[in-house]
Amino acid sequence: METVVFDLDGTLADTSGDLIAAANVCFRDMGAGDMLDAAADAGTALRGGRAMLTLGMQRLGRADDAATIDQYYPVLLEAYAADIDTHTVLYPGAMDAVAALKGGGYRVAICTNKPERLADLLLTRLGVRDAFGAMLGADTLAVRKPDPEHLFETARRAGGDPARCILIGDTDTDRKTARAAGVPCVLVTFGPAGGDMAALEPEALLDDYADLHGIVERLMGKAVA
Taking all residues of the chain, what is their mean pLDDT, rounded to a whole number?
A: 96
Question: Is 225 a domain residue?
Answer: no
Confidence of residue 123 (pLDDT cuts 50, 70, 90): very high
| Residue 222 confidence class, pLDDT cut points 50, 70, 90 | low
Which H, E and C letters describe the chain, residue by residue?
A: CCEEEECCECCCEECHHHHHHHHHHHHHHCCCCCCCCCCCCHHHHCCCHHHHHHHHHHHCCCCCCHHHHHHHHHHHHHHHHHCCCCCCEECCCHHHHHHHHHHCCCEEEEECCCCHHHHHHHHHHCCCHHHCCCEECCCCCCCCCCCHHHHHHHHHHCCCCCCCEEEEECCHHHHHHHHHHCCCEEEECCCCCHHHCHHHCCCEEECCHHHHHHHHHHHCCCCCC
The 10s digit of each residue's pLDDT in 128-154 is 999 999 999 999 999 999 999 999 999
- What's the number of domains the chain is made of? 2
Which of the residues are catalytic? 7
Q: What is the pLDDT of residue 224?
A: 44
In a domain, 175, yes or no: yes
- pLDDT reading at 225 higher than 70: no
CATH number at residue 115: 3.40.50.1000
- Do residues 10 and 20 both lie within one domain? no
Do 110 and 186 lie in a common domain?
yes
* Residue 97 structural domain: 3-14+88-219
Kindly report the pTM of this predicted structure: 0.94
Tell me: do 25 and 103 sit in the same domain: no
Single out the residue in 44, 67, 82 at which a domain terminates: 82
